[in-house]
């Protein structure tokens, strides 16, 4: 007998309506055997025993998703036990406890690496379907409790690298700083402690359970989890507030996109409390100020000093990959040049060789499927149109060049 998760029954009002098809003659059978009126109880028993989460249609949302945030906050704060939380989420208690305290890291996450633009590797930990389902619910829950500051542009709806860069247009100085190992420095004890205090004020059993469900076997926030972005923003909220106040005092503007911190100003010179240029005999790296570093370190983070740079208005100023020297955003020339070269290679050599060259020179993923490669190219062109507008002549020329490429090439 084989148990396989399937979609909930149509018309079901339950957010977590268990619908596990039971096959009596092996995987792939088209004639599932039902258990009559006892079927719901059988399904529940199987789900609790095998710790299988049903596959839910993407359009379904939790019943509490539309509850006003203030009433939702009061409700979630009143939950005093794991049983209360499981009932609120409409999930089995055994399911939550299994993933939080008993499952091994090897069975919970699929670990792999992707190559960064600088050639280094980035570890990605993708949760299995069952844990991913729970972490999505955690994301929904915490997103209704977390109110992002105006300085935060990463992992926030209606904000992006573009809105982040627009904040720093046409400034005399732009400082870029990068938080070192952003997700890895956010550990389980820190998450639990943060969720217990204002403004979240979750009960200890609830905070502990969420802390264990959101972290991997090493007790760190994994890259690849659906709930990691909102938790990262929650953990950095205090730092954002303090840096915003410091910059306001020094007549600067501060924003953060994930682990990228940007501070700009028209003041002359750039405030030394935040950063200064090194002396002639000193290091070539920008020297960050004590006031700035104290806030970062007091909030449990560290700066990757190799990525810090202070840019004058007479040099090219980059913010989250975009040029911000003038009153309008623009892309670096290298972006356009590489995109033109990619389309030229595709047209003359074929998509496979073009994808291989892109992988070798730009450290981008190596595509083995033509459709994915085509979507990638069109995505880069559409990003250009987002910056310059849909009628941008450069994007139109690239689209015209794509139309000349045969469908089988």
Report DSSP letters for 76-114, one per residue: HHH--SHHHHHHHHT--HHHHHIIIIIS-HHHHEEEEEE
**Last residue of a domain, which of 220, 241, 275?**
220
Q: Based on the domain organization, do 242 and 308 belong to the same domain?
A: yes
**Last residue of a domain, which of 296, 330, 364?**
330
40 lies in some domain: no
Task: Kindly give the interhelix angle for 351-362 and 333-349, rounded to the nearest 10 degrees.
Answer: 150
Q: Based on the domain organization, do 265 and 323 belong to the same domain?
A: yes
Q: Based on the domain organization, do 90 and 172 belong to the same domain?
A: no
115 lies in some domain: yes
CB 283 within 8 A of CB 143: no
pLDDT in tens, the chain (409 residues): 333 333 334 443 333 333 333 333 333 333 333 344 444 444 444 444 444 444 433 435 677 888 888 899 999 999 999 999 999 999 999 999 999 999 988 889 999 888 777 777 888 999 999 999 999 999 999 999 999 999 999 999 999 999 999 999 999 999 999 999 999 999 999 999 999 999 999 999 999 999 999 999 999 999 999 999 999 999 999 999 999 999 999 999 999 999 999 999 999 999 999 999 886 544 457 999 999 999 999 999 999 999 999 999 999 999 999 999 999 999 999 999 999 999 999 999 999 999 999 999 888 888 999 999 999 999 999 999 999 999 999 999 999 999 999 988 8
Q: Based on the domain organization, do 262 and 356 belong to the same domain?
A: no
Q: Based on the domain organization, do 192 and 117 belong to the same domain?
A: yes
How confident is the model at residue 284, as a pLDDT?
Answer: 58
47 lies in some domain: no
Distance CA 48, CA 287 (A): 56
Q: Based on the domain organization, do 167 and 279 belong to the same domain?
A: yes
37 lies in some domain: no
235 lies in some domain: yes
CB 320 within 8 A of CB 164: yes
109 lies in some domain: yes
* Cα→Cα distances 55→31, 42, 129, Å: 19, 17, 8
Q: Based on the domain organization, do 162 and 240 belong to the same domain?
A: yes
Q: Based on the domain organization, do 260 and 349 belong to the same domain?
A: no
How confident is the model at residue 279, as a pLDDT?
Answer: 66
Q: Based on the domain organization, do 317 and 251 belong to the same domain?
A: yes
84 lies in some domain: yes
How confident is the model at residue 28, as a pLDDT?
Answer: 35
- Please choose, from the candidates 239, 20, 46, 231, the residue with its C-alpha nearest in 3D space to the C-alpha of residue 151: 239
- Hunting for tokens 């941008």 — which residue is that? 392
How confident is the model at residue 61, as a pLDDT?
Answer: 63
How confident is the model at residue 384, as a pLDDT?
Answer: 96
How confident is the model at residue 122, as a pLDDT?
Answer: 86
Q: Based on the domain organization, do 174 and 290 belong to the same domain?
A: yes
* pTM recorded for the entire structure: 0.83
33 lies in some domain: no
Domain enclosing residue 296, as ranges: 149-185+231-330
Distance CA 239, CA 147 (A): 14
**Last residue of a domain, which of 283, 309, 330?**
330
Q: Based on the domain organization, do 252 and 295 belong to the same domain?
A: yes
Total domains in the chain come to 3
Q: Based on the domain organization, do 388 and 257 belong to the same domain?
A: no
How confident is the model at residue 409, as a pLDDT?
Answer: 84
How confident is the model at residue 69, as a pLDDT?
Answer: 87
CATH code: domain of residue 295: 3.30.70.270
């Amino acid at each position: 007998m084989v148990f396989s998760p399937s979609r909930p029954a149509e018309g079901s009002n339950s957010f977590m309506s268990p619908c596990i098809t039971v096959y009596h003659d092996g995987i792939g059978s088209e004639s599932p055997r039902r258990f009559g009126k006892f079927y719901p109880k059988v399904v529940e028993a199987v789900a609790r025993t095998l710790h299988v989460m049903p596959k839910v249609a993407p359009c379904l949302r939790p019943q509490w998703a539309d509850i006003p945030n203030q009433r939702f906050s009061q409700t979630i704060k009143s939950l005093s036990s794991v049983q209360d939380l499981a009932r609120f989420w409409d999930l089995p208690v055994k399911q939550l406890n299994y993933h939080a305290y008993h499952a091994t890291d090897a069975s919970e996450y699929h670990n792999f690496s992707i190559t960064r633009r600088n050639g280094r590797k980035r570890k990605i930990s993708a949760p299995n379907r069952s844990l991913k389902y729970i972490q999505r619910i955690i994301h929904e829950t915490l997103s209704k409790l977390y109110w992002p500051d105006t300085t935060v542009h990463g992992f926030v709806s209606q904000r992006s690298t573009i809105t982040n860069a627009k904040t720093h247009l046409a400034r005399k100085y732009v400082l870029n700083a990068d938080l070192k190992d952003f997700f890895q420095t956010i550990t389980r004890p820190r998450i639990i402690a943060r969720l217990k205090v204002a403004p979240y004020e979750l009960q200890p059993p609830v905070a502990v359970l969420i802390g264990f469900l959101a972290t991997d076997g090493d007790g760190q926030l994994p890259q690849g989890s659906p709930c990691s972005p909102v938790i990262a923003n929650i953990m950095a909220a205090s730092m954002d507030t303090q840096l915003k106040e410091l910059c306001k005092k020094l007549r600067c503007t501060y924003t953060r996109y994930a682990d990228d911190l940007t501070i700009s100003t028209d003041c002359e010179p750039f405030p030394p409390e935040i950063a200064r240029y090194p002396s002639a005999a000193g290091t070539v790296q920008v020297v960050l100020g004590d006031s700035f570093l104290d806030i970062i370190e007091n909030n449990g983070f560290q700066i990757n000093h190799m990525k810090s740079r202070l840019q004058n208005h007479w040099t090219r100023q980059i913010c989250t990959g975009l040029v911000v020297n003038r009153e309008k955003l623009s892309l670096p020339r290298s972006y356009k040049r590489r995109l033109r070269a990619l389309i030229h290679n595709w047209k003359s050599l074929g998509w496979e060789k073009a994808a291989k060259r892109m992988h070798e020179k730009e450290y981008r993923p190596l595509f083995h499927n033509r459709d994915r490669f085509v979507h990638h190219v069109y995505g880069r062109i559409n990003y250009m149109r987002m910056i310059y507008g849909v009628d941008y002549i450069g994007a139109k020329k690239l689209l015209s060049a794509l139309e000349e490429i045969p469908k089988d090439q």
